[in-house]
Structure 1
Amino acid sequence: MTPPRLVPLLQQFDFASKRLADRMTGPVVDSGDGTDTRVGPMTDEELFWEPVPGCWSVRRRADGPGPGAAFLAGTGGWGRDAAPYPHPWPPPFTTIAWRLSHLTEMLTLRADHTAGGHALTRDDHTVAGSAAEAVAAFDAGAAAWRGALLGVDDTALDTVGYCTYPHGSDAEEPFVDIVWWVNQEVLHHGAEIALLRDLYGATRDRP
Protein backbone atom coordinates (compact mmCIF):
# COMPACT_ATOMS: atom_id res chain seq x y z
CA MET A 1 0.00 0.00 0.00
CA THR A 2 1.09 3.55 -0.66
CA PRO A 3 2.16 5.21 2.62
CA PRO A 4 -0.56 7.72 3.63
CA ARG A 5 1.89 10.64 3.80
CA LEU A 6 3.02 9.92 0.23
CA VAL A 7 -0.53 10.10 -1.17
CA PRO A 8 -0.85 13.93 -1.22
CA LEU A 9 2.63 14.25 -2.73
CA LEU A 10 1.67 11.81 -5.49
CA GLN A 11 -1.55 13.74 -6.12
CA GLN A 12 0.39 16.99 -6.34
CA PHE A 13 2.91 15.44 -8.75
CA ASP A 14 0.13 14.05 -10.94
CA PHE A 15 -1.62 17.44 -11.05
CA ALA A 16 1.56 19.36 -11.88
CA SER A 17 2.74 16.87 -14.51
CA LYS A 18 -0.63 16.73 -16.27
CA ARG A 19 -1.04 20.49 -16.21
CA LEU A 20 2.40 20.96 -17.76
CA ALA A 21 1.78 18.27 -20.37
CA ASP A 22 -1.59 19.83 -21.25
CA ARG A 23 -0.01 23.29 -21.40
CA MET A 24 2.47 22.03 -23.98
CA THR A 25 0.14 19.95 -26.11
CA GLY A 26 -3.44 21.20 -25.73
CA PRO A 27 -6.11 21.27 -26.94
CA VAL A 28 -7.18 22.65 -23.55
CA VAL A 29 -5.58 23.31 -20.17
CA ASP A 30 -7.18 23.94 -16.78
CA SER A 31 -7.11 27.71 -16.32
CA GLY A 32 -7.12 27.37 -12.54
CA ASP A 33 -10.69 28.53 -11.99
CA GLY A 34 -12.44 25.40 -13.22
CA THR A 35 -12.72 26.48 -16.85
CA ASP A 36 -10.72 25.29 -19.83
CA THR A 37 -8.38 27.46 -21.87
CA ARG A 38 -7.66 26.41 -25.43
CA VAL A 39 -3.99 26.03 -26.35
CA GLY A 40 -2.30 24.73 -29.46
CA PRO A 41 0.54 22.23 -29.42
CA MET A 42 4.00 23.68 -28.83
CA THR A 43 6.02 24.15 -31.99
CA ASP A 44 9.74 23.64 -32.57
CA GLU A 45 10.09 27.39 -33.02
CA GLU A 46 8.61 27.96 -29.55
CA LEU A 47 10.81 25.26 -28.05
CA PHE A 48 13.98 27.00 -29.21
CA TRP A 49 12.78 30.62 -28.97
CA GLU A 50 15.40 32.90 -27.40
CA PRO A 51 13.61 35.96 -25.97
CA VAL A 52 16.88 37.66 -24.93
CA PRO A 53 20.46 37.54 -26.22
CA GLY A 54 22.81 34.93 -24.81
CA CYS A 55 20.25 32.27 -23.91
CA TRP A 56 21.27 28.77 -22.98
CA SER A 57 19.37 26.21 -25.01
CA VAL A 58 19.44 22.80 -26.65
CA ARG A 59 21.63 22.74 -29.76
CA ARG A 60 22.79 20.43 -32.49
CA ARG A 61 25.93 18.81 -31.17
CA ALA A 62 27.77 19.63 -34.38
CA ASP A 63 27.17 23.35 -33.72
CA GLY A 64 28.83 23.30 -30.31
CA PRO A 65 27.75 25.05 -27.10
CA GLY A 66 26.16 28.48 -26.94
CA PRO A 67 27.40 31.71 -25.33
CA GLY A 68 29.01 31.13 -21.93
CA ALA A 69 28.53 27.36 -22.05
CA ALA A 70 31.51 25.01 -21.92
CA PHE A 71 29.95 21.88 -23.39
CA LEU A 72 26.70 20.25 -24.50
CA ALA A 73 25.36 17.82 -21.91
CA GLY A 74 23.65 14.55 -22.78
CA THR A 75 23.97 12.16 -25.68
CA GLY A 76 22.69 11.96 -29.24
CA GLY A 77 22.66 14.51 -32.01
CA TRP A 78 21.51 17.30 -29.67
CA GLY A 79 22.91 18.57 -26.37
CA ARG A 80 21.99 21.03 -23.62
CA ASP A 81 24.22 24.03 -22.87
CA ALA A 82 26.18 23.39 -19.67
CA ALA A 83 29.27 24.35 -17.73
CA PRO A 84 31.18 22.79 -14.85
CA TYR A 85 30.84 24.14 -11.32
CA PRO A 86 30.88 26.95 -10.43
CA HIS A 87 28.15 27.83 -12.90
CA PRO A 88 28.06 31.27 -14.55
CA TRP A 89 26.63 34.06 -12.41
CA PRO A 90 24.13 35.49 -12.90
CA PRO A 91 22.60 32.36 -14.41
CA PRO A 92 21.92 32.65 -18.15
CA PHE A 93 18.32 32.89 -19.29
CA THR A 94 17.21 29.52 -20.61
CA THR A 95 14.81 28.49 -23.37
CA ILE A 96 11.86 26.14 -23.05
CA ALA A 97 14.06 23.49 -24.67
CA TRP A 98 16.69 23.87 -21.94
CA ARG A 99 14.21 23.90 -19.05
CA LEU A 100 12.26 20.91 -20.37
CA SER A 101 15.43 18.91 -21.03
CA HIS A 102 16.71 19.68 -17.51
CA LEU A 103 13.42 18.61 -15.96
CA THR A 104 13.18 15.43 -18.02
CA GLU A 105 16.76 14.44 -17.24
CA MET A 106 16.16 14.91 -13.51
CA LEU A 107 13.00 12.77 -13.53
CA THR A 108 14.57 10.02 -15.62
CA LEU A 109 17.81 9.79 -13.67
CA ARG A 110 16.15 10.03 -10.26
CA ALA A 111 13.79 7.21 -11.25
CA ASP A 112 16.76 5.05 -12.23
CA HIS A 113 18.64 5.89 -9.03
CA THR A 114 15.57 5.05 -6.95
CA ALA A 115 14.16 1.89 -8.50
CA GLY A 116 16.31 1.10 -11.53
CA GLY A 117 19.91 0.16 -12.13
CA HIS A 118 21.35 3.10 -10.16
CA ALA A 119 23.72 3.65 -13.07
CA LEU A 120 22.40 6.29 -15.48
CA THR A 121 24.45 9.47 -15.80
CA ARG A 122 23.88 12.73 -17.62
CA ASP A 123 26.03 11.37 -20.42
CA ASP A 124 23.42 8.63 -20.96
CA HIS A 125 20.47 10.99 -21.27
CA THR A 126 19.30 11.52 -24.85
CA VAL A 127 18.50 15.19 -25.45
CA ALA A 128 15.39 15.78 -27.58
CA GLY A 129 15.71 17.93 -30.69
CA SER A 130 12.04 18.69 -31.43
CA ALA A 131 8.95 19.73 -29.50
CA ALA A 132 7.20 16.42 -30.06
CA GLU A 133 10.24 14.46 -28.88
CA ALA A 134 10.75 16.73 -25.87
CA VAL A 135 7.14 16.35 -24.72
CA ALA A 136 7.25 12.57 -25.18
CA ALA A 137 10.51 12.39 -23.21
CA PHE A 138 8.97 14.42 -20.38
CA ASP A 139 5.94 12.12 -20.29
CA ALA A 140 8.24 9.07 -20.11
CA GLY A 141 10.38 10.63 -17.37
CA ALA A 142 7.32 11.57 -15.31
CA ALA A 143 5.91 8.05 -15.67
CA ALA A 144 9.24 6.51 -14.64
CA TRP A 145 9.50 8.68 -11.53
CA ARG A 146 5.90 7.98 -10.53
CA GLY A 147 6.48 4.27 -11.00
CA ALA A 148 9.54 4.46 -8.76
CA LEU A 149 7.49 6.15 -6.04
CA LEU A 150 4.87 3.39 -6.07
CA GLY A 151 7.50 0.95 -4.82
CA VAL A 152 8.47 2.82 -1.66
CA ASP A 153 7.24 2.29 1.89
CA ASP A 154 7.39 4.29 5.09
CA THR A 155 10.88 3.06 5.86
CA ALA A 156 12.10 4.20 2.45
CA LEU A 157 10.55 7.64 2.92
CA ASP A 158 12.62 8.12 6.09
CA THR A 159 15.85 6.73 4.63
CA VAL A 160 18.61 9.23 3.95
CA GLY A 161 20.22 8.41 0.62
CA TYR A 162 17.46 6.04 -0.53
CA CYS A 163 17.76 7.67 -3.95
CA THR A 164 21.36 7.63 -5.14
CA TYR A 165 20.94 10.44 -7.68
CA PRO A 166 24.40 12.03 -7.79
CA HIS A 167 23.54 15.63 -8.67
CA GLY A 168 21.33 16.79 -5.80
CA SER A 169 21.01 16.56 -2.04
CA ASP A 170 19.71 12.99 -2.18
CA ALA A 171 22.64 11.61 -0.19
CA GLU A 172 21.96 14.06 2.64
CA GLU A 173 18.18 14.10 3.07
CA PRO A 174 15.38 11.61 3.81
CA PHE A 175 13.67 10.40 0.68
CA VAL A 176 10.36 12.10 1.53
CA ASP A 177 12.15 15.46 1.24
CA ILE A 178 13.46 14.47 -2.20
CA VAL A 179 9.91 13.61 -3.29
CA TRP A 180 8.78 17.07 -2.20
CA TRP A 181 11.73 18.68 -4.00
CA VAL A 182 10.91 16.93 -7.28
CA ASN A 183 7.33 18.19 -7.02
CA GLN A 184 8.47 21.78 -6.66
CA GLU A 185 10.82 21.34 -9.62
CA VAL A 186 7.89 20.27 -11.82
CA LEU A 187 5.71 23.07 -10.45
CA HIS A 188 8.16 25.91 -10.89
CA HIS A 189 9.67 24.81 -14.21
CA GLY A 190 6.17 24.09 -15.47
CA ALA A 191 5.15 27.64 -14.60
CA GLU A 192 8.23 29.01 -16.36
CA ILE A 193 7.49 27.02 -19.50
CA ALA A 194 3.86 28.17 -19.48
CA LEU A 195 4.93 31.81 -19.14
CA LEU A 196 7.42 31.48 -22.00
CA ARG A 197 4.66 30.04 -24.18
CA ASP A 198 2.48 33.04 -23.30
CA LEU A 199 5.28 35.48 -24.06
CA TYR A 200 6.04 33.79 -27.35
CA GLY A 201 2.37 34.01 -28.35
CA ALA A 202 2.16 37.66 -27.34
CA THR A 203 5.15 38.61 -29.47
CA ARG A 204 3.57 36.92 -32.48
CA ASP A 205 0.23 38.72 -31.97
CA ARG A 206 1.72 42.21 -32.11
CA PRO A 207 0.83 44.27 -35.20
Structure 2
Amino acid sequence: MDADQLEWNRTLREQWEVHWDNQLRGRLDGLTDDEYFWSPVPDAWNVRPRGSSTAPVQAGAGDFTIDYAVPGPGPAAFTTIAWRLGHVIVGVLAARNAAHFGAPAASYETWTYAGNAAAALDQLDTQLGVWLAGVRNLGDAGLRLPVGPKEPYPEASMADLVLHIHRELIHHLSEVCLLRDLYLHTQPTANGATR
Protein backbone atom coordinates (compact mmCIF):
# COMPACT_ATOMS: atom_id res chain seq x y z
CA MET A 1 0.00 0.00 0.00
CA ASP A 2 1.25 3.45 -0.93
CA ALA A 3 1.84 5.77 2.06
CA ASP A 4 -0.42 8.35 0.37
CA GLN A 5 -3.28 5.83 0.49
CA LEU A 6 -2.84 4.94 4.16
CA GLU A 7 -5.55 6.27 6.46
CA TRP A 8 -3.23 7.95 8.95
CA ASN A 9 -5.99 9.16 11.25
CA ARG A 10 -7.43 5.67 11.63
CA THR A 11 -3.95 4.22 12.09
CA LEU A 12 -3.08 6.66 14.89
CA ARG A 13 -6.40 6.10 16.66
CA GLU A 14 -5.98 2.34 16.41
CA GLN A 15 -2.56 2.60 18.08
CA TRP A 16 -4.42 3.60 21.25
CA GLU A 17 -7.78 1.87 20.77
CA VAL A 18 -6.33 -1.61 20.23
CA HIS A 19 -4.17 -1.29 23.36
CA TRP A 20 -7.09 0.13 25.40
CA ASP A 21 -9.64 -2.42 24.23
CA ASN A 22 -7.40 -5.49 24.41
CA GLN A 23 -4.95 -4.81 27.22
CA LEU A 24 -5.77 -1.88 29.50
CA ARG A 25 -9.48 -1.30 30.05
CA GLY A 26 -10.21 -4.79 31.33
CA ARG A 27 -7.32 -4.50 33.77
CA LEU A 28 -8.99 -1.45 35.35
CA ASP A 29 -12.34 -3.18 35.93
CA GLY A 30 -13.07 -3.75 39.60
CA LEU A 31 -10.61 -1.11 40.83
CA THR A 32 -11.45 -0.62 44.50
CA ASP A 33 -11.21 2.53 46.57
CA ASP A 34 -8.55 0.83 48.71
CA GLU A 35 -6.40 0.24 45.63
CA TYR A 36 -7.13 3.72 44.27
CA PHE A 37 -5.79 5.46 47.37
CA TRP A 38 -3.23 2.81 48.43
CA SER A 39 0.24 4.16 49.14
CA PRO A 40 2.92 1.46 48.85
CA VAL A 41 5.59 3.80 50.25
CA PRO A 42 5.53 6.55 52.86
CA ASP A 43 4.79 10.06 51.61
CA ALA A 44 3.64 8.99 48.15
CA TRP A 45 1.77 11.69 46.27
CA ASN A 46 -1.95 10.99 46.19
CA VAL A 47 -5.40 12.46 45.75
CA ARG A 48 -6.58 13.40 49.24
CA PRO A 49 -9.48 15.02 51.04
CA ARG A 50 -9.00 18.78 50.97
CA GLY A 51 -6.81 19.97 53.84
CA SER A 52 -5.23 16.58 54.62
CA SER A 53 -2.15 16.81 52.38
CA THR A 54 1.33 17.82 53.47
CA ALA A 55 2.59 18.24 49.87
CA PRO A 56 3.95 21.69 48.95
CA VAL A 57 1.00 22.21 46.57
CA GLN A 58 -2.51 20.79 46.89
CA ALA A 59 -4.28 21.50 43.61
CA GLY A 60 -7.96 21.04 42.87
CA ALA A 61 -11.34 22.73 43.02
CA GLY A 62 -13.46 20.18 44.88
CA ASP A 63 -13.44 18.14 48.05
CA PHE A 64 -10.26 16.32 46.94
CA THR A 65 -6.90 17.71 45.89
CA ILE A 66 -3.89 16.25 44.11
CA ASP A 67 -0.42 16.48 45.68
CA TYR A 68 2.09 18.52 43.72
CA ALA A 69 5.23 20.68 43.92
CA VAL A 70 6.84 23.26 41.65
CA PRO A 71 9.60 22.52 41.02
CA GLY A 72 9.16 18.81 41.57
CA PRO A 73 11.28 17.05 44.18
CA GLY A 74 14.42 15.10 43.34
CA PRO A 75 14.08 12.22 43.16
CA ALA A 76 10.52 12.42 41.88
CA ALA A 77 7.82 11.52 44.38
CA PHE A 78 6.28 8.07 44.13
CA THR A 79 2.66 8.37 43.03
CA THR A 80 -0.45 6.30 43.77
CA ILE A 81 -3.06 4.98 41.38
CA ALA A 82 -5.30 7.94 42.28
CA TRP A 83 -2.51 10.40 41.48
CA ARG A 84 -1.60 8.70 38.20
CA LEU A 85 -5.24 8.61 37.09
CA GLY A 86 -5.61 12.27 38.05
CA HIS A 87 -2.53 13.12 35.98
CA VAL A 88 -3.83 11.20 32.95
CA ILE A 89 -7.36 12.58 33.23
CA VAL A 90 -6.34 16.23 33.69
CA GLY A 91 -2.78 16.82 32.47
CA VAL A 92 -2.75 14.38 29.58
CA LEU A 93 -6.36 14.44 28.35
CA ALA A 94 -8.64 17.19 29.70
CA ALA A 95 -6.14 20.03 29.19
CA ARG A 96 -5.54 18.86 25.59
CA ASN A 97 -9.26 18.38 24.97
CA ALA A 98 -9.76 21.99 26.06
CA ALA A 99 -6.82 23.33 24.05
CA HIS A 100 -7.60 21.54 20.79
CA PHE A 101 -11.16 20.20 20.75
CA GLY A 102 -13.38 22.83 22.37
CA ALA A 103 -13.86 21.08 25.72
CA PRO A 104 -14.18 23.19 28.90
CA ALA A 105 -10.95 24.65 30.29
CA ALA A 106 -9.10 22.23 32.57
CA SER A 107 -6.03 22.45 34.78
CA TYR A 108 -4.67 20.75 37.87
CA GLU A 109 -5.77 23.77 39.91
CA THR A 110 -9.37 23.89 38.65
CA TRP A 111 -10.20 20.20 38.33
CA THR A 112 -12.66 18.43 40.64
CA TYR A 113 -10.74 15.24 41.43
CA ALA A 114 -12.60 11.99 41.96
CA GLY A 115 -13.04 10.88 45.57
CA ASN A 116 -13.37 7.23 44.62
CA ALA A 117 -12.20 4.75 42.02
CA ALA A 118 -15.50 4.47 40.12
CA ALA A 119 -15.74 8.24 39.66
CA ALA A 120 -12.11 8.40 38.47
CA LEU A 121 -12.75 5.68 35.88
CA ASP A 122 -15.86 7.55 34.72
CA GLN A 123 -13.77 10.72 34.31
CA LEU A 124 -11.16 8.73 32.39
CA ASP A 125 -13.74 7.19 30.06
CA THR A 126 -15.31 10.62 29.44
CA GLN A 127 -12.01 12.34 28.64
CA LEU A 128 -10.92 9.47 26.40
CA GLY A 129 -14.19 9.76 24.50
CA VAL A 130 -13.65 13.48 23.94
CA TRP A 131 -10.04 12.90 22.89
CA LEU A 132 -10.83 10.17 20.36
CA ALA A 133 -13.75 12.11 18.86
CA GLY A 134 -11.48 15.15 18.53
CA VAL A 135 -8.73 13.16 16.85
CA ARG A 136 -11.25 11.46 14.53
CA ASN A 137 -12.65 14.87 13.50
CA LEU A 138 -9.18 16.09 12.54
CA GLY A 139 -9.16 13.75 9.57
CA ASP A 140 -5.87 13.16 7.84
CA ALA A 141 -5.43 16.82 6.83
CA GLY A 142 -5.85 18.06 10.40
CA LEU A 143 -3.04 15.79 11.58
CA ARG A 144 -0.62 17.85 9.47
CA LEU A 145 -1.53 21.17 11.12
CA PRO A 146 0.78 22.66 13.77
CA VAL A 147 -0.40 22.32 17.37
CA GLY A 148 0.16 26.03 17.96
CA PRO A 149 1.00 28.10 21.03
CA LYS A 150 -1.00 26.02 23.52
CA GLU A 151 1.72 23.35 23.46
CA PRO A 152 5.42 23.53 24.41
CA TYR A 153 6.47 22.81 20.80
CA PRO A 154 4.03 24.94 18.76
CA GLU A 155 5.54 23.97 15.41
CA ALA A 156 4.94 20.23 16.01
CA SER A 157 2.11 18.66 14.06
CA MET A 158 -1.14 17.39 15.55
CA ALA A 159 0.06 13.91 14.53
CA ASP A 160 3.08 14.43 16.80
CA LEU A 161 0.75 15.41 19.64
CA VAL A 162 -1.50 12.39 19.07
CA LEU A 163 1.50 10.05 19.19
CA HIS A 164 2.77 11.77 22.35
CA ILE A 165 -0.60 11.53 24.12
CA HIS A 166 -0.97 7.88 23.20
CA ARG A 167 2.51 7.12 24.55
CA GLU A 168 1.61 8.94 27.78
CA LEU A 169 -1.63 6.99 28.12
CA ILE A 170 -0.01 3.62 27.50
CA HIS A 171 2.87 4.47 29.85
CA HIS A 172 0.89 5.76 32.83
CA LEU A 173 -2.02 3.35 32.61
CA SER A 174 0.42 0.43 32.41
CA GLU A 175 1.90 1.78 35.65
CA VAL A 176 -1.59 1.72 37.16
CA CYS A 177 -1.93 -1.94 36.16
CA LEU A 178 1.43 -2.73 37.72
CA LEU A 179 0.38 -1.02 40.97
CA ARG A 180 -2.80 -3.13 40.96
CA ASP A 181 -0.63 -6.25 40.67
CA LEU A 182 1.61 -5.05 43.50
CA TYR A 183 -1.43 -4.35 45.68
CA LEU A 184 -2.84 -7.81 44.99
CA HIS A 185 0.44 -9.52 45.90
CA THR A 186 1.32 -7.46 48.99
CA GLN A 187 -2.01 -6.81 50.70
CA PRO A 188 -3.30 -9.98 52.38
CA THR A 189 -6.95 -8.89 52.23
CA ALA A 190 -6.65 -8.11 48.52
CA ASN A 191 -6.32 -11.75 47.50
CA GLY A 192 -9.01 -13.13 49.80
CA ALA A 193 -6.82 -13.79 52.85
CA THR A 194 -7.52 -12.21 56.18
CA ARG A 195 -5.07 -10.24 58.21
In the superposition, the TM-score normalised over structure 2's length comes to 0.85
Matches within 5 A, 1:143-182: 143-162=129-148, 164=150, 169-182=152-165
Aligned residue type for 1:12: Q
Counterpart of 1:112 in structure 2 is 98
CA distance in 1, matches of 2:58, 2:124: 19
Displacement of 1:162? 4.5
5+ residue gaps, structure 1, are: 26-40
Counterpart of 2:81 in structure 1 is 96
Counterpart of 1:202 in structure 2 is 185
| CA 50–109 in structure 1, closer or farther in 2 if over 3 Å, else same | same
Deviations 1:17-74 (A, max 9, x none): 333321111xxxxxxxxxxxxxxx11111011111112001011121x33xx212122
Do the aligned partners of 1:79 and 1:127 also contact (CA within 8 Å) in 2? yes
Aligned residue type for 1:124: T
1:50 aligns with 2:6: no
CA distance in 2, matches of 1:197, 1:163: 37
Do the aligned partners of 1:57 and 1:98 also contact (CA within 8 Å) in 2? yes
Fraction of identical pairs, as percent: 34
| CA 74–6 in structure 1, closer or farther in 2 if over 3 Å, else same | same
Displacement of 1:170? 4.9
Counterpart of 1:15 in structure 2 is 18
**Count of residue pairs the alignment pairs up:** 183
1:24 to 25, 28, 34: 28
Displacement of 1:163? 7.8
| CA 163–175 in structure 1, closer or farther in 2 if over 3 Å, else same | farther
- Segment drifting more, 190-199 vs 4-13: 4-13
Counterpart of 1:78 in structure 2 is 64
Do the aligned partners of 2:9 and 2:136 also contact (CA within 8 Å) in 1? no
Higher helix share: 2
Detail structure 1 runs of 4+ shifted over 4 Å in the superposition. Answer: none
Root-mean-square deviation (CA, aligned residues, Å) is: 2.1
